[in-house]
A = this chain, B = another copy of it.
Amino acid sequence: MKDHARFTFLVGGKAGTGVKSAATAAAELFRRLGRRSFQNDDYQSLIRGGHSFSTVTSACHPVFSQYRRADLAVCFDERSVDAHRDHIADKGVLVYDQDKVEDADGIGLPLSELAGEYPRPDLMLGVGALAVLGAAIGLKQVELAELVGDEYARGKQDNLKYAAAVYEKATESLKGRFELARTEEDFTNIGGNEAVALGAAAAGLDLYFAYPMTPATSILHFLAAHGPDLGVVAVHPENEIAVVNMAIGAAFAGARAMVGTSGGGYALMQEGFSLAGMTEAPLLCVVSSRPGPSTGVPTYTAQADLNLVLNSGHGEFPRVVASPGTVEQAFCLAADLLTLAWRFQVPAVLLTEKHLSECRMSLDFRPDRPAWAEPVTHAEGEFRRYRITGDGVSPLLFPPSDEVIKWSSYEHDEAGYTTEARPGITAMQDKRLAKAATLEQAVGELDTVRVHGEGPLIVTWGSTLMSVLEALEFGGIAARVVQPLFLEPLPVRRLAELRGRKPVVVEQSATGSFARLLRERAGVEPGAEIRQYDGRPFDPEELAARLKEAL
């Protein structure tokens, strides 16, 4: 078989057996071959056992999704075989651990037996899967050894030995089964949450406050590990309410602060979000969604928090909400939102989903792209925190200072002292309304709506963009995909172009909240709606079929 334009590698097994790291290593392998990839990790809310699998789809062109049907699937147990046996590509192959799986339609290899001689055999299976991949794509033994050495540095010697043994066995049945084209291109594989962390850091993030919550947790882990390098301190306080209030306190003292959580944690931050609105505290919140309501399905994906996020906090005040469609957009958007939050002294939300947060994809990483978050600062003369200005933005000043700097949760006068008087209340409400107008205009000048391709219209948002793009690629479908990057202020004028054109709306929501937003806020009546709300991202093949039908 020759030059697979697109190649999907899947590894499946119990949680805790190195499934995910094998996939990450495979993506690294593809990178070394000059191939771009998209990695998706499907795992349950448990630590050991159950069934988890990771999929890496790679190609010489950009890839925007995993595929359900694998060219090469390596399964460590019965359950994995059961889950994936029906999703093998036409010329694909299922490889299984013959020590764990009775008999299957594929190739059995003694993965466990070969691992048996090492101290923690179950932790080596991932290396085995990588060796199988190496053999199947005709990787040279030395190339494999180099990769394994880099990716599995702990217990390196054992890993190398084991990899060699599996490689040898696998070569017998699989050698060169798949020939993959290579390129000379260079790029970086980056995860969605990692990109958010990097984007914010590049724009000047000083402090990251978070309480662990899937699927936002890896931002915390990344910044705890790499923050010191990048000038960011990561703080893990007692709960989400502490998180948001500490972040606001930090902003008062002049620090660019960000928080991250999922729907439930964000729900707990609602009082704090409103506090940011009233005090005009610059604050960036990352919300990574999973299926709800409530605890829901913690390790899966959904776009079900749109309504809460767009309407966060009691009272009325300006805010910015935007949602990235790709890892690259996540990097730039985190920076842009931090910048907007500081420029306009508003709370901002980067709304994303498990699907983007926890995917990894190849991109041309350009740390120098983002702007730098800088507020309008007080220069001279008497300082009044809430000075009424034409655009509603009051210059900032930070302690220590000889001026008295008062931020207040109460309705306040320009100096920040409590007011209950009719004119005082109206004046500050009007100031915030003025700022909302300024903000709307400024956002309107950004590239708020991204358009991809030409053809009949599809509208989508967030990480579902990637599913749509890949489905179009897969299906060879021509379409014009419109993706509002900003959701609040909603770029109504730009979206208005879609009115009467009956676009197909694609989203991962049970109620169709995005279609409702389009219909109600922008007056765009969908021609058809494609929804999926089972926690799984769309599969490009399935989605392509549904799109063909709908377009």
A294 touches B311 (CB 8 A): no
* Contact flag A297-B411 (CB < 8 Å), given A274-B292, A534-B425: yes
Distance, CA A509 to CA B275, complexed state (A): 18
Q: Please, which residue of chain B has its CB at the minimum distance from the CB of A51?
A: B420
In the complex, the answer to whether B294 meets A277 with C-beta atoms within 8 Å is yes
Cβ of A317 within 8 Å of any chain B Cβ, yes or no, is: yes
Contacts A263-B314, A268-B270, A307-B316 known; 4 new A-B pairs at CB < 8 A: A267-B271, A278-B296, A422-B536, A433-B510
With both chains docked as a complex, state the minimum distance between the C-beta of A351 and any C-beta of chain B, in angstroms. Answer: 11
Alpha-carbon separation in the docked complex, A304 to B428 (Å)? 14
How many Å lie between the Cα of A270 and that of B178 in the bound state? 52
Whether B267 and A314, one on each chain, are in contact in the complex, defined by CB atoms closer than 8 angstroms, is yes
Task: Evaluate contact between B535 and A425: CB separation under 8 angstroms.
Answer: yes
* Shortest distance from the beta carbon of A16 to any chain B beta carbon, whole Å: 17
How many copies of the shown chain assemble into the complex? Answer: 2
B534:A296 contact, CB within 8 angstroms: no
Assembled-state Cα–Cα distance A44/B294 (Å): 38
Cβ 8 A contact of A277, one of B274, B291, B293: B293
Jot down 13 A-B pairs with beta carbons below 8 A, ordered by A. A45-B420, A267-B313, A278-B293, A279-B294, A292-B314, A292-B315, A292-B316, A293-B314, A295-B410, A300-B420, A426-B534, A433-B510, A436-B511
Asked whether any CB of chain B lies closer than 8 Å to the CB of A21, the reply is no
Of the listed residues A241, A422, A430, the one surrounded by the most CB atoms of chain B closer than 10 A to its CB is: A422
- A112: interface (CB < 8 Å): no
Q: A266 near B: Cβ within 8 Å? A: yes
Contacts of A313 in B (CB 8 A): 267, 292-293, 308
| Complex Cα–Cα for A321 and B372 (A) | 43
Q: With a CB–CB cut-off of 8 A, which chain B residues contact A229?
A: none
> Which of chain B's residues has its CB closest to A287's CB?
B314
- The residues of B that contact A262 with a CB separation of less than 8 Å are 314
Beyond A425-B297, A533-B429, whether A511 also contacts B316 by CB under 8 A is: yes
Query: Is A228 an interface position by the 8 A CB rule?
Result: no
A326 to B63, CA, bound (A): 59
Q: Which partner residue on chain B sits nearest A347 by CB separation?
A: B293
Q: Which of A503-537 contact B (CB under 8 A)?
A: 509-511, 513, 520-521, 533-536
Q: Return A272 CB to nearest CB of chain B, in Å.
A: 8
Residues of chain B lying within 8 A (CB to CB) of residue A241: 268
B533 pairs with A296, CB closer than 8 A: no
Near B by CB (< 8 A), chain A positions 412-456 give 420, 422-423, 425-426, 429-430, 432-433, 436
Give the contacting residue for A317; candidates B279, B293, B312, B410; CB below 8 A: B293
Cross-interface CB contact of A314 among B304, B411, B436, cutoff 8 Å: B304
In contact, B315 and A263 (Cβ under 8 angstroms): yes
Q: A264 interface residue, CB < 8 Å from B?
A: yes
Whole-angstrom distance from the CB of A275 to the nearest CB of chain B? 5
Is there a chain B Cβ closer than 8 Å to A183's Cβ?
no
Within 8 A of B (CB), among A211-238: none
Nearest CB in chain B: distance from A118 CB, A: 32
Q: Give residues 374-429 of A contacting B (CB, 8 Å).
A: 409-411, 420, 422-423, 425-426, 429
